[in-house]
Amino acid sequence: MSAPVVVLAPLPLVLPRGRERVELQRDHARRAVRESALAISASLGELTKTADDVPLPSNGWFWSLSHSPAHVAGVVSAAPIGVDVEESREARPELVERILGHAELELFAARGEDGFLRTWTAKEALLKEFGLGLQALSCCCILRVDADSLELRFDDLRRTVHQFRFGTTLAAVCSASPERPRFVLHERPLLSRTAEPVA
């Protein structure tokens, strides 16, 4: 089994507004998913989702994507997988409190980190692997913090979330696969290989 390849790319510098912008972000994120499939020679079919927005396996391959204001991320894997990409931001104290528990804050403080973006992206990637929304946030808890990975407990399960920082942006990927994912950062926006309607 090939290790998953997380494809990261910037969005075009000039973006339309409103609905068109959202459509463009979603389209570019799907391009990242297709690039990830190519990287591991996975043959994808249509990219469809459940009524709750959870990606359905395509030709048996699991996929996940994320769009931030300036970047997209996409990944494909033989096992369920979740990815998130976020740009650094000023967080309101109520939000920090909701995302990071006291014990987690201490784990990061011992490393001289605030931990907010790392926790946010890791928990979101984990929840996406399980096809869950933020209602399950309180079931995730960070057990260990390393330079480019975090170990989390979710119910009775353990997960290692791998992270990759570029500039002020952070990407995180979570899966049951024991293989370490590879992060591939494109310098330019991804070109479309096939015209695909966004479902």
> Contact between 33 and ligand COA (CB under 6 A)?
no
> Contact between 137 and ligand COA (CB under 6 A)?
yes
Tokens of 123: 């928990």
In degrees, rounded to 5, the angle at the alpha carbon of residue 133 between the alpha carbons of residues 131 and 139 is: 95
> Contact between 124 and ligand COA (CB under 6 A)?
yes
Residues 39, 184 contacting (CB under 8 angstroms): yes
Contact pattern for ligand COA over residues 72 through 101, marking x by CB under 6 A? ------------x--------------x--
> In the chain, where does DSSP find H-type helix?
18-39, 93-99, 102-109, 116-129
The sign of the dihedral angle between the CA atoms of 85, 123, 144, 104 is positive
Distance CA 116, CA 54 (A): 25
Nearer to ligand COA, 28 or 182 (CB): 28
> Contact between 123 and ligand COA (CB under 6 A)?
yes
Nearer to ligand COA, 52 or 90 (CB): 52
Query: Considering the complex, what minimum distance in angstroms separates the CB of residue 95 from ligand COA?
Result: 8
Residues numbered 151 to 190 that lie near ligand COA (CB under 6 A) are none
> Contact between 67 and ligand COA (CB under 6 A)?
yes
> Contact between 132 and ligand COA (CB under 6 A)?
yes
Identify the residue among 128, 159, 162, 182 touching ligand COA (CB under 6 A): 128
Residues 174, 126 contacting (CB under 8 angstroms): yes
Q: Considering only CA atoms, which of 3, 60, 2 is closest in space to residue 181?
A: 3
Residues 172, 122 contacting (CB under 8 angstroms): yes
Distance CA 153, CA 122 (A): 11
> Contact between 141 and ligand COA (CB under 6 A)?
no
Binding site for ligand COA (CB under 6 A): 26, 29, 49, 52-55, 64-67, 84, 99, 120, 123-124, 127-128, 131-134, 137
